[in-house]
Structure 1
Amino acid sequence: MNTTPAIDLMGTLRSGNSTAPRLTWYGPDSERVELSGRVLDNWVAKTSNLLQDELDAEPGMRLRLALPAHWKAMVWALAGWQLGLETVFDGSPADFLATDDPTAATGQHDAVIAVALPALAMRWAGGLPAGWIDYAAEVRSHGDVFMPHTDPDPADCALRTADGNAIPHRDLLTGFALQHEEGARVHIPADRGLESALSSALGAWLRDGSVVLTHPEVALTDKLRADERIHGS
């Protein structure tokens, strides 16, 4: 079986100290979401299953994430990489589009998925264009364990960066992930964008660490730093 670093990483988060916090989000209006390794893997598995079983996604297909740096956006990126998709940030054509802004959908896609960002959202607030998928309404019905129908090829492209660089799956954790100290609890400001946030988060998880992702409206105070035991950057 050909495995990719993303598949191996999800296996580690699922089984190694799986109840420890891995991704903590601070959003507007005092929103705080904390995902352990097991819970993060659960969300990623459900999202991968939605892509594979409902949208017929296969390794090598392309996913565009028109999303801000947010915990759900990180779930989407991990789900795509686990499935063997290529995530594009350079605006090039893609088979699937995941977005929190229906007005931003341009070009042709096999499927467009509306991602409601509030943590407690059970469905998209308001109407959606015909044929769009409501992520919040659909994802919870999918399985908690992901079994790929087709093994991804580690040599295939995993990421097309905003400046057009192509990074294969096999190099995702060595050529894209930002390196951190072992076990670091890393703060990631969301205003740096999703691509930067993913690079930092992958590097932290690779070294058995965790991340605290903060919305641009949330200040990194001394109290927050102490409460979350942030000791890496």
Structure 2
Amino acid sequence: MSIPAIDLMTTLRSGHSTSPRLTWYGPDSERVELSGRVLDNWVAKTSNLLQDELDAEPGMRLGLALPAHWKSVIWALAAWQLGMETVLDGGDADYLVTDRPDSSGRHDAVIAVALPALAMRWPGELPAGSIDYASEVRSHGDVFMAHTDPSASVCAIRAHDGQQHLHEGLLTGFAAPHEDGVRLLVAAADGLEAALSNSLGAWSSGGSVLLAHPDVELTDKLLAAERIHGK
């Protein structure tokens, strides 16, 4: 039996393969639109980087020291597809994914994520031992096949209120409920946990997400163009 995150990715790449599932509005007029197929492609490549290059396995912990951003969502989905636990509060983790890498040596691997959409590599020097996500991820396969079957009964994420959500309850306990087919506006200012919870809820109900950086002015024209009704 597969875990819900794997079933979700299967649905996104098949049932919504060409429709927008995640749209990002960022600083400097940045707009990124990912269809179900492209979203799955990014997640598969990232899962393969974790599994094949970093030897990540189900049950291991992945620290996400990133703001709410489309690449943060990719990393969370990739970890969950592997059966890993995502850590959002800076707690102990086997791996750290961050846009501010250092050389503290606290983790098995530090993955540096350049946030600009067009970044092909990390801008500048990286601390020794850090992995450049932008330059490494493209060499990995577009299809993910797990080496080890993940368990649905281990932790997928601990919410900031301390509640532990297992993989089996990721879409029924952690995901925020939303109406079928919703086109959901998600404010990045509300934080990564809220972005993940709302995105999972929208996708599991056949909907799509618009994730907006705090600096983006959400004009009536923009919202109408993106089919967002109300804020």
TM-score (norm 2): 0.97
Q: Deviations over 1:198-221 (max 9, x none)?
A: 000000000000000000100211
Distance in 1 between residues matched to 2:45 and 2:201, nearest whole Å = 23
**Counterpart for residue 62 of structure 2:** 63
* Pair 1:182 & 2:147 matched: no
Alignment of 1:160-179 (within 5 A): 160-179=158-177
- CA 135–177 in structure 1, closer or farther in 2 if over 3 Å, else same: same
Distance in 1 between residues matched to 2:230 and 2:79, nearest whole Å = 27
Q: What is the CA-CA distance between 1:3 and the residue it aligns to?
A: 0.9
**Counterpart for residue 49 of structure 1:** 48
Q: What is the CA-CA distance between 1:116 and the residue it aligns to?
A: 0.4
**Counterpart for residue 19 of structure 1:** 18
Q: Which runs of 5+ in 2 are unaligned?
A: none
**Counterpart for residue 197 of structure 1:** 195
CA contact (8 A) 1:13 1:38 kept: yes
CA contact (8 A) 2:63 2:97 kept: yes
**Counterpart for residue 71 of structure 2:** 72
Q: Deviations over 1:86-108 (max 9, x none)?
A: 001232200010000125x7561
**Counterpart for residue 132 of structure 2:** 134
Matched residue type, 1:129? P
Distance in 1 between residues matched to 2:107 and 2:202, nearest whole Å = 33
- CA 57–203 in structure 1, closer or farther in 2 if over 3 Å, else same: same
Percentage of matched positions with identical amino acids: 73
Runs of 4+ that moved beyond 6 A: none
- CA 232–195 in structure 1, closer or farther in 2 if over 3 Å, else same: farther
Q: Which runs of 5+ in 1 are unaligned?
A: none
Matched residue type, 1:195? E
Matched residue type, 2:27? P
**Counterpart for residue 216 of structure 1:** 214
CA contact (8 A) 1:184 1:231 kept: no
3-state SS of the aligned residue for 1:64?
Answer: strand
Q: Deviations over 1:145-175 (max 9, x none)?
A: 0000001000011002223221100000011
CA contact (8 A) 2:24 2:31 kept: yes
CA contact (8 A) 2:58 2:148 kept: yes
- CA 181–231 in structure 1, closer or farther in 2 if over 3 Å, else same: farther
3-state SS of the aligned residue for 2:202?
Answer: helix
TM-score (norm 1): 0.96
State the Cα RMSD in Å: 1.2
**Counterpart for residue 229 of structure 2:** 231
Distance in 2 between residues matched to 1:195 and 1:232, nearest whole Å = 22
